[in-house]
């Protein structure tokens, strides 16, 4: 039986010439999966050029590879940071590097690591033949010698308790302890290695160390368990602080009924040595211990304080943490107080607050507590100044000052020409009654923030027209008619008067006969009426309107 792939190829070659395009498409459609030949890193011809120990002049050259289409190289250092994107890696410090190769196929990228750029004259410490000699009992004739050191020109030996104790390649005439060698070359580059010299005496091995936390800043305790048998002698021990003071002494003895252990109380952040003395009075440091505080405190290292904006209570204090809870940290209680001592919150975060000083008191389930203070400031926002057009009136009367750029944020304030506040409005609409040309100022407000002032002028072309707001048609010969002085300048004026229900009770063109308080020959009742005056001038802004009071 012919395999399907061969059969298809045979059929394609039998197709006529006119079917060339179709034959090409069929071949392309049945192309093998390109991932059958994924990219390959080829490093057989690379050369590695060392870097100066403090420099960045190392190189890995000659890297290549195979794959589909364009190849893409990415180099990473030991911290997994990208340090190069070309086939050759240049300008790098000493270290270990890896390369990742991608091509244009669907194959996953391939990588290879372990490329080491050495340092020129790099200091190397080899302890393969190092000899460590323990001191005789209570003596200082211990030593560390025969260390393999390459390219070093100076040496420092560091004793944990005493600092620098020698500047030679070998360390001699020392007692038991822990020592660190720092070897440095002429370029200032160094390497180091740490050694421990045990005492020559016998001592029990430590099998376990348990930490017992205290509460609210109390010292911690270490419970140290030893592996001892009924065949071991009695050992004496003492715990010594950095100043050589013995803070605790005792005996380590086997017991068939319970583990052999000791409990030591240690102050935090102080290094202590546990020293054991065998029956021959040989002392050996069997452990060095440093404990951290067990105190409970409020951690502010990640706190974010968001300021309030314009007194709108948008401030917040978030990302607070506590450290050292003596029980379940989720049981910690929080209380927030403002600068007046009022309780304003009882959760880990404080939001929706105004500017001010706030104090949080945190108390863990074990009774420990701590507090911290935070200051929330009031920041300003840019309130856009109002856009307002000037108004032109022919006659004194009411004018509507209207803001054109209302954005729905905050509100608006109106001031007179002397910066005296008049009123405020959320949509920027202000009705003013003017008798003559008058200037005003408008501002945009958001909370306590206020924009720069925008001036606006209501121009009155003929301020000499005097419109009274009351008259008394009681036939006593005084103020019986609603006389508008100066209106005779407008012979074509239209005057209309309405009652409070909107009913037209007076209409006149030219105002030759003033309003006398009658409607259809009947007296109108006392009350407030509304008028409009239209002088029919193109320079005027519509009708002049207002109210008048009729009193009999």
Q: Would you call 57 exposed, middle or buried from its count of C-beta atoms within 10 A (0-12, 13-18, 19+)? A: middle
**pLDDT given at position 473:** 96
- Give the residues across from 100 on adjacent strands: 74, 111
Q: Is the pLDDT of residue 439 over 80?
A: yes
User: What are 65's two structure tokens?
Assistant: 């590879």
- Torsion angles phi and psi, residue 74, rounded to 5: -135, 125
**pLDDT given at position 347:** 92
Strand order in the sheet with 72-76: 82-84, 72-76, 95-102, 110-117
Mean pLDDT over each residue of the chain, to the nearest integer: 86
**pLDDT given at position 218:** 65
**pLDDT given at position 283:** 82
pLDDT tens digits along 342-371:
999 999 999 999 999 999 999 887 678 889
CA 474, 477, 478: angle at the middle one, nearest 5? 85
pLDDT tens digits along 176-195:
888 999 999 988 889 999 99
Fold of 391-460: Immunoglobulin-like (2.60.40)
Q: Is the pLDDT of residue 11 over 50?
A: no
Q: Which CATH superfamily is domain 205-290 in?
A: Fungal immunomodulatory protein Fve (2.60.40.1790)
Question: Coil, helix or strand for 259?
Answer: coil
- Nearest Cα to Cα of residue 383 among 403, 361, 401, 363: 403
How would you label 4-29 residue by residue, b for 16+ Cβ within 10 Å and e otherwise? eeeeeeeeeeeeeeeeeeebeeeeee
Q: Is the pLDDT of residue 67 over 60?
A: yes
Range list of H helices, 88-223: none
CA gap 136, 117 in Å, rounded: 44
How many CB atoms are located within 10 Å of the residue 273 CB? 19
Q: Is the pLDDT of residue 511 over 80?
A: yes
Q: Is the pLDDT of residue 485 over 70?
A: yes
Pairing of strands 343-345, 378-379: unpaired
Q: Confidence band (pLDDT; 50, 70, 90) for 328?
A: low
What DSSP string describes 469-498?
Answer: SEE--SSSSSS-SB--BTGGG-TT-EEEEE
Contact 419, 353 (CB under 8 A): no
**pLDDT given at position 21:** 36
CA gap 266, 10 in Å, rounded: 88
User: What are 537's two structure tokens?
Assistant: 């001038």
Q: Is the pLDDT of residue 73 over 90?
A: yes
Q: Is the pLDDT of residue 34 over 50?
A: no
| Lowest-confidence pick of 98-102, 405-409, 422-426, 518-522 | 405-409
Q: Which residues make Cβ contacts (< 8 Å) with residue 340, sequence separation at least 6?
A: none
How would you label 113-150 residue by residue, b for 16+ Cβ within 10 Å and e otherwise? eebebebbbbbebeeeeeebebbebeeeebbbeebebe
Mean pLDDT over residues 193-204, rounded? 84
CA gap 381, 310 in Å, rounded: 7
CA gap 90, 165 in Å, rounded: 41
CA gap 509, 513 in Å, rounded: 9
Q: Confidence band (pLDDT; 50, 70, 90) for 395?
A: confident
User: What are 56's two structure tokens?
Assistant: 């960045």
CATH class entry, domain 470-550:
mainly beta
Q: Is the pLDDT of residue 17 over 70?
A: no
User: What are 399's two structure tokens?
Assistant: 């004018």
Mean pLDDT over residues 364-393, rounded? 87
Q: Confidence band (pLDDT; 50, 70, 90) for 540?
A: low
**pLDDT given at position 296:** 79
- Torsion angles phi and psi, residue 271, rounded to 5: -90, 125
Q: Confidence band (pLDDT; 50, 70, 90) for 217?
A: low
Q: Is the pLDDT of residue 206 over 50?
A: yes
Q: Is the pLDDT of residue 19 over 50?
A: no
CA gap 418, 360 in Å, rounded: 46
Mean pLDDT over residues 159-187, rounded? 90
Q: Confidence band (pLDDT; 50, 70, 90) for 128?
A: very high
Contact 308, 379 (CB under 8 A): yes
**pLDDT given at position 46:** 95
Considering the segment(s) 297-369 as one domain, its CATH architecture is: Sandwich (2.60)
User: What are 337's two structure tokens?
Assistant: 């107080």
Q: Which residues make Cβ contacts (< 8 Å) with residue 472, sequence separation at least 6?
A: 478, 479, 480, 550, 551, 552
How many CB atoms are located within 10 Å of the residue 487 CB? 20
CA 153, 154, 160: angle at the middle one, nearest 5? 150
**pLDDT given at position 463:** 82
> Looking at per-residue confidence, does 279 or 389 come out higher?
389
Mean pLDDT over residues 408-431, rounded? 94
Q: Which residues make Cβ contacts (< 8 Å) with residue 10, sequence separation at least 6?
A: 2
> Looking at per-residue confidence, does 139 or 374 come out higher?
374
**pLDDT given at position 499:** 96
**pLDDT given at position 24:** 35
Q: Is the pLDDT of residue 468 over 80?
A: yes
Maximum separation of any 2 CA atoms in the chain, in Å: 139
What is the CA 373 to chain-centroid distance, rounded? 19
**pLDDT given at position 325:** 63
**pLDDT given at position 252:** 93
Q: Please indicate whether the domains covering 205-290 and 470-550 agree at the CATH topology level.
A: yes
**pLDDT given at position 99:** 96
User: What are 147's two structure tokens?
Assistant: 């260390």
Q: Confidence band (pLDDT; 50, 70, 90) for 539?
A: low
pLDDT winner (highest mean) among 5-9, 97-101, 331-335, 540-544: 97-101
How would you label 385-394 residue by residue, b for 16+ Cβ within 10 Å and e otherwise? ebebeebbbb
CA gap 218, 119 in Å, rounded: 49
By percentage, how much of the chain surpasses pLDDT 70?
Answer: 90
> Looking at per-residue confidence, does 137 or 480 come out higher?
480
User: What are 73's two structure tokens?
Assistant: 């190289």
Contact 354, 415 (CB under 8 A): no
CA gap 50, 397 in Å, rounded: 92
What are the residue ranges spanned by the domains of the chain? 4-31, 36-119, 124-197, 205-290, 297-369, 391-460, 470-550
Check whether domain 124-197 has CATH 2.120.10.30, yes or no: no
pLDDT tens digits along 497-509:
999 999 999 999 9
Question: Coil, helix or strand for 19?
Answer: helix
CATH class entry, domain 36-119:
mainly beta
């Amino acid at each position: 039986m012919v395999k399907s792939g061969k059969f298809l190829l045979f059929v394609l070659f039998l197709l006529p010439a006119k079917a060339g395009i179709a034959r090409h498409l069929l071949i392309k459609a049945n192309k093998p999966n390109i991932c059958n030949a994924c990219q390959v890193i080829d490093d057989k011809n690379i050369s590695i050029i060392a870097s100066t120990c403090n420099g960045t002049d190392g190189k890995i050259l000659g890297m290549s590879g195979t794959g589909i289409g364009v190849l893409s190289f990415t180099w990473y250092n030991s911290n997994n940071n990208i340090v190069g994107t070309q086939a050759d890696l240049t300008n790098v410090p000493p270290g270990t590097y890896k390369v990742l190769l991608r091509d244009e196929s669907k194959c996953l990228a391939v990588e290879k690591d372990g490329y080491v750029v050495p340092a020129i004259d790099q200091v190397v410490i080899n302890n393969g033949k190092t000899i460590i000699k323990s001191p005789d009992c209570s003596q200082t004739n211990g030593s560390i010698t025969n260390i393999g050191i390459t390219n070093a020109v100076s040496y420092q030996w560091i004793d944990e308790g005493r600092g620098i104790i020698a500047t030679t390649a070998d360390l001699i005439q020392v007692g038991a302890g822990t020592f660190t060698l720092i070897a440095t070359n002429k370029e200032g580059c160094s390497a180091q290695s740490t050694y421990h010299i045990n005492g020559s005496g016998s001592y029990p091995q430590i099998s376990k160390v348990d930490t017992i936390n205290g509460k609210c800043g109390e010292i911690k305790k270490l419970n140290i368990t030893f592996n001892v048998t009924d065949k071991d002698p009695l050992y004496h021990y003492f715990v010594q602080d950095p100043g050589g003071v013995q803070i605790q002494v005792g005996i380590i003895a086997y017991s068939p009924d319970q583990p052999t252990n000791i409990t030591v109380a240690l102050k935090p952040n102080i290094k202590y040595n546990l020293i054991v003395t065998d029956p021959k009075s040989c002392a050996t440091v069997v452990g060095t211990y440093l404990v951290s505080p067990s105190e409970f405190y409020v951690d502010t290292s990640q706190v974010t304080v968001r300021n309030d904006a314009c007194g709108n209570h948008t401030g917040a204090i978030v990302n607070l943490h506590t450290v050292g809870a003596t029980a379940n940290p989720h049981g910690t209680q929080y209380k927030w107080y403002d600068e007046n001592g009022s309780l304003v919150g009882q959760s880990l975060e404080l939001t929706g607050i105004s500017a001010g000083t706030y104090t949080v008191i945190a108390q863990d389930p074990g009774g420990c507590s701590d507090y911290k203070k935070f200051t929330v400031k009031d920041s300003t926002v840019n309130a856009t100044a109002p856009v307002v057009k000037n108004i032109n009136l022919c006659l004194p009367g009411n004018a509507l000052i209207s803001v054109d750029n209302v954005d729905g944020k905050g509100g608006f304030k109106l001031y007179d020409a002397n910066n005296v506040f008049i009123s405020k409005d959320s949509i920027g609409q202000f009705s003013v009654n003017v008798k003559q040309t008058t200037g005003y100022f408008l501002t945009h407000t958001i909370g306590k923030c206020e924009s720069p002032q925008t001036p606006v002028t209501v121009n009155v072309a003929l301020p000499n027209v005097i419109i009274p707001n009351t008259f008394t048609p009681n036939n006593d010969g005084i103020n019986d008619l609603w006389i508008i002085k100066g209106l005779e300048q407008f012979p074509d004026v239209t005057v209309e008067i309405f009652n409070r229900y909107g009913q037209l009770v007076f209409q006149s063109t030219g105002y030759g006969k003033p309003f006398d308080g009658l409607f259809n020959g009947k007296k109108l009742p006392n009350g407030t009426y509304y008028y409009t005056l239209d002088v029919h001038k193109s320079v005027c802004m519509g009708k002049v309107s207002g109210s008048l009071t009729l009193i009999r």
